[in-house]
Amino acid sequence: MKKKIIIAVCLMCAVVCGVIAAGVTSRASSANISIAADGDTVKKEQEFSVRVTISSDAAMQNIDTMFTYDATVLEYVSSDSSAVAGASGMIHIMEEFLDPVTTMTYTLNFKALELGTSVLSVSDTYISQAETFDVIPVSSDSISVEVVTNHQESSETRLDQLLVAPGELNEPFSPDVYEYTAQVAYEDENAAVSAIPMDENAVVTMEKSDTLSFGENRVIITVTAPSGDVGTYTVIINRPSAPETETEAFESETPESETMESETMTETQVPESETESTSDQSSAEGETGESQAVQETGESFSETETGETVAESAAGTQAQSAAGLSSDTQVQP
């Protein structure tokens, strides 16, 4: 009986020891990763630090995890550890320890690139225990960092120059006018747009298609000031769906003043044939007048000569008659 009691007590002790050992192992096989930054907000263009702390109840043989961030908002600069490498939104933290550790902290330095919010977190984590080389389950948290406007930086978002080639803007460029149109020819398949900011430190980005479609082609130009302020210009490039005719091209190229002058000359100009006809008519009328004058003069001259002849004839007859009478008178006794 006593023997049975002793066996039962031993079994109970073994079970209790096993439970205690399992509990110790369970507690030792957990790790945690915490992330902390200098603050929840940071000004644009400023640098700040992020600390990634990995801790475990058991000694860690190696650490392998991926740290992620928004590369459009933040720019990775450097780290204090050679175990950290990466960029473009993903940083690989990988290190193997000759002397196992229970806690390790890595410092990552970032620069606030653009206005916005970035979430900082870890993923794909692998941590092994030094004694058993078992994988330790890991829990982690994440934080958010907001980039705000830096009022000490320039807030100039205007352009100094805006050019379109081929073609030209519908009006002279003004930094305070944000919408324009431009006309290109039917055969122009693409157009170059040049945008120069007033602040040389401002960033200019452009949204446009590589080739021009028929009709309207919208070009969006975004100017981001060093402070983070944004200005937007819009240019609509029109490409005709059919080639321009020669008449339309001539009319479009001919200045309005020349067109009006040409119309005035056309209205006032007398046809050459009418001028020659009028000249010939005047000449004919002049010759007819001269002929009539000559004819009248001739008739007058003829009448004069005839009158003189008749007078001379009458005078001769009278003289002969008088001579005859005188002769007759003298002959009679």
Cα separation, 155 vs 202, whole angstroms: 9
Contact by Cβ (8 Å): 68, 90: yes
Q: Specify the residue for token string 């092994």.
A: 128
| 59 is a domain residue | yes
Q: What are residue 106's DSSP bridge partners?
A: 52
pLDDT tens digits for 272-283?
444 444 444 444
Q: Is there a single domain that holds both residue 79 and residue 171?
A: no
Q: Is there a single domain that holds both residue 142 and residue 40?
A: yes
CA 262 to chain centre: 39
Task: Of 29-38, 45-54, 242-251, give the lowest mean pLDDT range.
Answer: 242-251
pLDDT above 70 for 41: yes
Which domain does 55 fall in, by range? Answer: 28-148
Q: Is there a single domain that holds both residue 33 and residue 142?
A: yes
Q: Is there a single domain that holds both residue 187 and residue 126?
A: no
Query: Smallest Cα–Cα separation from 24: which of 98, 96, 129?
Result: 129
Of the three residues 179, 207, 239, the one that is the final residue of a domain is 239
Average pLDDT for 134-140: 94
| 90 is a domain residue | yes
| 165 is a domain residue | yes
**pLDDT for res 247:** 52
Q: What is the mean pLDDT of the chain?
A: 78
CA 215 to chain centre: 15
Task: Of 79-83, 205-209, 237-241, 300-304, give the lowest mean pLDDT range.
Answer: 300-304
pLDDT tens digits for 92-135?
999 999 999 999 999 999 999 999 999 999 999 999 999 899 99
Of the three residues 196, 214, 239, the one that is the final residue of a domain is 239
Query: When comparing pLDDT for 213 and 227, which is higher?
Result: 213
Cα separation, 226 vs 233, whole angstroms: 18
Of the three residues 186, 214, 239, the one that is the final residue of a domain is 239
Tally the domains of the chain: 2
The phi and psi torsions of 129 (rounded to 5 degrees) equal: -80, 140
pLDDT above 80 for 26: no
> Where residue 57 sits, what CATH number does that domain have?
2.60.40.680
Query: When comparing pLDDT for 78 and 314, which is higher?
Result: 78
Tokens representing 233 are: 């210009």
Amino acid letter, residue 316: G
Q: Is there a single domain that holds both residue 130 and residue 201?
A: no
Q: Is there a single domain that holds both residue 102 and residue 181?
A: no
Q: Is there a single domain that holds both residue 38 and residue 65?
A: yes
Q: CA–CA distance from 88 to each of 22, 65, 70, 203 (Å)? A: 43, 16, 8, 19
Name the strand (E) or helix (H) holding 126.
Answer: strand 116-129
Cα separation, 69 vs 168, whole angstroms: 43
**pLDDT for res 278:** 42
Average pLDDT for 43-66: 96
pLDDT above 50 for 229: yes
| 234 is a domain residue | yes
Question: What is the dihedral sign for C-alpha 123, 129, 130, 134?
Answer: negative
| 214 is a domain residue | yes
Cα separation, 154 vs 55, whole angstroms: 43
Q: Percentage of residues in the chain with pLDDT exceeding 70? A: 65
Q: How confident is the model at residue 31 (pLDDT cuts 50, 70, 90)?
A: very high
| 144 is a domain residue | yes
pLDDT above 60 for 192: yes
Contact by Cβ (8 Å): 223, 178: no
Task: Of 1-10, 97-106, 243-252, 284-293, give the lowest mean pLDDT range.
Answer: 284-293
CA angle 140/144/145 to nearest 5° reads 135
**pLDDT for res 150:** 84
The phi and psi torsions of 261 (rounded to 5 degrees) equal: -65, -40
Q: How confident is the model at residue 9 (pLDDT cuts 50, 70, 90)?
A: low
Name the strand (E) or helix (H) holding 14.
Answer: helix 2-28
Q: Is there a single domain that holds both residue 141 and residue 233?
A: no
**pLDDT for res 332:** 38
| 100 is a domain residue | yes
Does a cis peptide bond (omega within 30 degrees of 0) precede residue 172?
Answer: no
pLDDT above 60 for 293: no
Q: How confident is the model at residue 8 (pLDDT cuts 50, 70, 90)?
A: low
Cα separation, 268 vs 291, whole angstroms: 36
Q: Is there a single domain that holds both residue 138 and residue 33?
A: yes
